[in-house]
Structure 1
Amino acid sequence: MTFRLLLPLIIVGIAWLQESIDQLFFSGSWNLPLGPGLPWWGLLTAPFSHAGFGHLISNTIMFLPLSWLVLTKGYRDYIAVLIAVVVMEIPVWLFWPRGSHGMSGVIYGLLGYLLLIGFLESSLWAIILSIICLILFGNYLTALIPGVSPAGVSWIGHASGFLGGIFAALAISGVPSENATSRY
């Protein structure tokens, strides 16, 4: 149980370390984005790279509670969302004309998963979880619409992450959870 609390803190800690090094030693120019013509490992580094501490703070505030909510379902679900988000970022990396970075894609992946999983599983706990997420975070869904996000914000990164979360929920909804009791 303790590691479930620590895992998101470790992930965010890496982002804070990267941003601190970036600001202290590189004056904010050490970004690790994903984008056209950039190395493939940007798919893995982009979530840890931010455009300053304001960007990182806003992502941290969203990332931690959404991570902990997904982790109430289990590690398998959390890892599935993270993998699905990376997979859905591949077309963005290959074809989108601008680079992007930050945890927003992962955040929207977690949100997409949480919004859908309750209705796929039809368990009371999962439905309550989905409804709570819709109430608390539903206003962020407008950032998935082109032209609604502020200039410089990658709506495509949000949308691809959200789709990754949806696909993760669809992929694992029929598989028994690690928290479910076995009939055997």
Structure 2
Amino acid sequence: MGLCTRLLLPLLILAVAWTQELVDQLLFGGRWNLPLVPGGPAWGILTAPFSHGGFAHLVSNSLWFLPLSWLVLTRGLRPYLRVWAAVLVCSLPVWLLWHNASHGLSGVVYGLLGYLMAVGLVERRPWPILLSVFCIATYGGLLPALVPLLSPAGVSWIGHASGFGAGVLAAWFGAPVPRREQVSGSPRW
């Protein structure tokens, strides 16, 4: 997949979220949300990232989502898809344990951030380390929303924390496996 196509992917994802919000606001007066509801249908795991509590919520998530998506996509499509898959799987605790409905791209935003902050530590190569340091310096101010006491009221800190953890796991499981050095006379692994 070429760079141009990779840069368009986050815009296409946002187009889905913006279309959902426009339809919600124009036709349903803001009452057509597709959140992840505790004990509700499991399909909420798939719809929640595209559902928002109004345009302010969507604009805020969009402003973080685009640059973080593009930074992960500098590493390739596979890491990006790995983060998305991990975030969706790690939404299960939110679905099972959180007491309120949860929705928005912020879980994915924190997944992308977790990946970018962890990839340097996991891979220990110059480009990933620089990427991690850049993200810590630039986006580190988002980290208090992972802590219940520091997260604003009504914000799903558990969705943020599970997304961030998913991103860290995506970095961990996507790291290249180091080659074993072959010692003369030892068996080949």
TM-score interval, smaller chain: over 0.9
Which residue of structure 1 aligns with residue 163 of structure 2? 161
Which residue of structure 2 aligns with residue 53 of structure 1? 55
**Structure 2: runs of 5+ lacking an equivalent:** 179-189
- Out of 119, 124, 127, the position equivalent to 1:125 is 127
Structure 2 distance, partners of 1:6, 1:101, is: 23
Q: Deviations over 1:113-172 (max 9, x none)?
A: 000001211111111110110111001000000021111110000000000001101101
Which residue of structure 2 aligns with residue 91 of structure 1? 93
Structure 2 distance, partners of 1:46, 1:29, is: 14
The 5-angstrom pairing of residues 31-110 of structure 1 reads 31-110=33-112
Q: % of aligned pairs identical?
A: 60
Structure 2 distance, partners of 1:44, 1:175, is: 31
Letter in 1 for 2:131: L
Which residue of structure 2 aligns with residue 18 of structure 1? 20
Which residue of structure 2 aligns with residue 145 of structure 1? 147
Structure 1 distance, partners of 2:115, 2:154, is: 25
Q: CA deviation at 1:36?
A: 1.2
Query: Structure 1 pair 119/51, CA: closer, same or farther in 2 (3 Å)?
Result: same
Which residue of structure 2 aligns with residue 180 of structure 1? none
Q: Deviations over 1:41-62 (max 9, x none)?
A: 1001000000100000000000
Q: Deviations over 1:13-64 (max 9, x none)?
A: 1000000000000110100000212111100100000010000000000000
Structure 2 distance, partners of 1:174, 1:127, is: 14
Secondary structure, counterpart of 1:166 in structure 2: helix
**Structure 1: runs of 5+ lacking an equivalent:** 177-184
Letter in 2 for 1:151: A
Secondary structure, counterpart of 2:90 in structure 1: helix
Higher-Rg member (1/2)? 2
Query: Structure 1 pair 171/68, CA: closer, same or farther in 2 (3 Å)?
Result: same
Structure 2 distance, partners of 1:110, 1:61, is: 13
Structure 1 distance, partners of 2:5, 2:143, is: 30
Structure 2 distance, partners of 1:61, 1:95, is: 28
Letter in 2 for 1:164: A
Aligned length: 176
Structure 1 distance, partners of 2:5, 2:85, is: 19
Letter in 1 for 2:100: R
Letter in 2 for 1:23: Q
Structure 2 distance, partners of 1:142, 1:25, is: 36
